[in-house]
Structure 1
Amino acid sequence: MKVAVFSTKKYDRQSLSSTNTRHNHELVFLETKLNSQTARLANGFPCVCLFVNDKADAEALEILAAGGTRLLALRSAGFNHVDLHAAARLGMTVVRVPAYSPYSVAEHAVGLILMLNRKLYRAYNRVREDNFELEGLLGFDIYGSTVGVIGTGKIGLIFAQIMHGFGCSLLGYDAYPNSDFTAIGAARYVELSELFENADIISLHCPLLPETHHLINADAIDQMKTGVMLINTSRGGLIDTKAAIEGIKIGKIGYLGIDVYEQEEELFFADWSDSIIQDDAFQLLQSFPNVVITAHQAFFTQNALQNIAETTLSNISSFEQGEALTNELKLPESSTPKVTA
C-alpha cells in the first residue's frame, strides 16, 4: 500500500524502512507535520501515517478523504489529535499502536523523579565547571514516600511496581480499577481527593479525554501537600499550565517533571536553539530551578521504536488484506471516559 508518513525523523525512517522489508509497503517519508495546510501532500495516498503532533482535525481529514485516503495509521497510543467523529463521517478507518513499550515510559517517569529529587541536572553542570559544592543539592529518601498513580493501565502499573521496589506506599486512582495494581504490596485505590491530600509524589499515566483535560487544575493543586512532586509523561493537556505555574510560585508544587506540554505541538520534535520561543508560559517554566522538562522522549527507546514500526505496518497490512483490525479506533472507545494508560 502507498503510505504518506508525516512528521518523520531519521529514526522513523530507519525503524520503518527496516521493518518494511517484511511488509513491502510503498513508504513516502515527509518531514512536515500533517495539518489542513499540508494535507494535500497526501493526495493519491490510500494511507496516511501520523504521529502525536500531527493535527488530523475535520478540515485536514476532509482534504485527505478527497485525495483518496481511506486509512489513518497512528504511530502512537494517544489519539486526541484525531477527530474520530469526522473520520467516521468520511468513512476513514483509524488504527493505532496501543502498546509499544510501557517500560520505556514508566522508567522515564522514575528518571524524572530521581533527577528532580537529587538535583542531578544541577550537580552535573556544577561538576563540569569544577564546582564540587553540595549546597542546594539536598534531596530526600524516596523510600517510605507515598506515591499517587493516576491511571493504572500498563504504564501506570509498571511505574507502580518500580516505585514499590523503592519501598513506597502506593495510592491509585482509575475509573476502571486493575486487580494487578492492588496485588502490589502497599497499594490501594482511593478517590482523587484522598490521593491529592496524601501523596508526596504524583505521577500521571492516563489518556487525554474531555473528562481528563486539566485534571490537574488550581483546585486539585490546592488539595495537594505543600512541596508535592508532580510528574507527567502522559499528555500535556492533563495539566493546566497556568495553574501549575502558580502552584510553583507559591511553593505548593515543590518539583515538576514533565515530558509533555500543553502546547507542545508548536515546539517539540524540532530545533529552536537559534530562535526566540514565543511561548511565555513555557519560557517561565524553564526558568524555575525545580522544574525539569524533556521533549516527549519517554517513549524513545530502541525497543519501542521497533514495536511501533512493526505494529504500525502490521495494521496497514491487515487493512490492505481485508483482515480484522485488532487495533482499530472506533467512536464508542473514544467516547467512554477511562482513566488508564
Structure 2
Amino acid sequence: MKNKPLATFSSIVPDLKDYLRGKMRGYKSTINEAPIDLKTLDPKTEILGCFVDSHVDKSVFDKLKKLKMIATFSTGYDHIDLKEAKRRGIPVCNVPTYGENTVAQHAMALMLALSRKLFQSVKRVKEGVYDYHGLRGFDLKGKTIGVIGTGHIGIHLIDMLDGFEANVVAYDAFPNKDLEKDHAFTYVSLDKLLKESDIISLHVPLFPTTYHMINDKALNKMKDGVHIINTARGGLIDPEAMVYALENGKVGGLAVDVLEEENYIAHPEKIDKKTTPEEIRASLMENIIIDHPNTIITPHNAFNSTEALKRIFDTSVENIKAFSAGEIQNDVTKPKKKK
C-alpha cells in the first residue's frame, strides 16, 4: 500500500497518546479519548482502532465507506459485527495475547479480596469502625478451585494458585492434555467442576455456546456458598439467576470485572426506545448485583496496566503495518490455520 491509510483510534488514555502516536509515525492518525461516536467519526477513516467499549455495528460500517481494516485493542471481538465485516471483506485484527499475566493477577486479587472480605474490611475502617468482628474469611489452602478455560489467562492463574497449595481442577471444551504435565491441575468434566469447586473462575470467550453458561441449572449443581470470579465476559453469567443465587446463599461471594450490559451501567442515559426489554431487565439485575453486600465489581479494569496497554498498542500497530504491507495477520474473520 503506497499511501499510508488514515487511521482513527478511540478510547486512548491521555498518558499513552504520545506512545501510540510515536508508534504510528508516518501515518495520518486521529487519536480520541472517548469511545466511537457515530456523529463525530471521520467518514474518511480507512483503519479503525478501538477497545471493547466501542460497538462496531452496521451503522459504523455504513458511515465508513472507505474502511479497509479494523484493529481491535483486545483479544475478544464480540463488540464487532463480524458478519458485516466478512460481508464487506474487511479484516478484523485482534491482539491474541497481551496480558495473560495482567488479567490473571486481577482474577487472583479478586479471589483474595473475596476470601478475606477485603472490601468490607477497608470500607469499615474508612467509615471509622476499627473492629474485625463479622469479617472472618477463609484460606485458599486445601480448597478446590475450578478454572473454566485453560487458555493463556487460565493457565497463568493456575500457576499462581500453585503457590497457595490449592487443589485446582479445570474444564476446557478443547482440553490440552500436555498442559496437565507442566502445570498443577487436573482436567475434569464441567459437571464435576461445578459440583466440587469451592471457588470457580471463568476464563472463556463469549460465544453462543458459552452465553449464560452460569445459569440456574449450573448454579443448582454448585456447592452452597460457592464463590465465583469472572474477568472474561459479562455475558457468561445470567444476571437474573445470579441475583437469586446471591439472595438465597447459593453464591457466597461474587467478584467480577465485566457485566453483560456494562454499556448501560456506565451510561444509563443511552437507554432509549431501541433498548430491548431483555437489555433493560439485565441492566436492572446487574444494578442489584452491584449493590449486593457479597459482591465486588470492578469496571472492566483487569487489562488496565501500563505494561499491558503498551503490549496491546505494540501488537495493534504491528497488525496495521502488516496490513499496509499487504500481509494481513491476526484476522479473526478468517479461520485459524492448522499447525
Q: Quote the residue 1:63 is aligned against.
A: 63
SS at match of 1:300: coil
Give deviations 1:18-45, integer Å, cap 9, x for gaps: 433xx4322212344336x44x723111
Give deviations 1:182-222, integer Å, cap 9, x for gaps: 12565111111110000000000010011111111110001
SS at match of 1:48: strand
Give deviations 1:65-110, integer Å, cap 9, x for gaps: x2x0111110111001111121111121111111111101000001
Q: How does 1:90-239 map to 2 (within 5 A)?
A: 90-184=88-182, 186-239=184-237
Q: Quote the residue 2:84 is aligned against.
A: 86
Task: Tell me if the contact between 2:204 and 2:232 (Cα under 8 Å) persists in the aligned partners.
Answer: yes
- What is the CA distance between 1:180 and its match in structure 2? 5.0
- Pair 1:206–1:254, CA change in 2 (3 A): same
- Pair 1:196–1:4, CA change in 2 (3 A): same
Task: Tell me if the contact between 1:225 and 1:252 (Cα under 8 Å) persists in the aligned partners.
Answer: yes
Aligned residue pair count: 320
TM-score, with length taken from structure 1: 0.88
Give deviations 1:279-330, integer Å, cap 9, x for gaps: 432321122111000001101111101101111111111111112x331112
- CA RMSD for the aligned pairs? 2.0
Distance in 2, Cα, partners of 1:15 & 1:176? 38
Distance in 2, Cα, partners of 1:166 & 1:126? 27
- What is the CA distance between 1:7 and its match in structure 2? 2.7
Give deviations 1:150-191, integer Å, cap 9, x for gaps: 010100000011112111111111111123531256511111
Q: Quote the residue 2:50 is aligned against.
A: 50
**Amino acid corresponding to residue 333 of structure 2 in structure 1:** K
Task: Tell me if the contact between 1:53 and 1:265 (Cα under 8 Å) persists in the aligned partners.
Answer: yes
Task: Tell me if the contact between 2:158 and 2:183 (Cα under 8 Å) persists in the aligned partners.
Answer: no
Higher relative CO (CA 8 A, sep ≥ 6), structure 1 or 2? 1
Q: Quote the residue 2:272 is aligned against.
A: none
Task: Tell me if the contact between 1:50 and 1:74 (Cα under 8 Å) persists in the aligned partners.
Answer: yes
Q: Quote the residue 1:301 is aligned against.
A: 305
- Pair 1:14–1:293, CA change in 2 (3 A): farther
Q: Quote the residue 1:339 is aligned against.
A: none
Q: Quote the residue 2:331 is aligned against.
A: 328
Distance in 1, Cα, partners of 2:28 & 2:134? 55
Q: Quote the residue 2:245 is aligned against.
A: 247
Matched, 1:292 2:296: yes
Give unpaired runs (5+ residues) of structure 1.
Answer: 273-277, 334-341
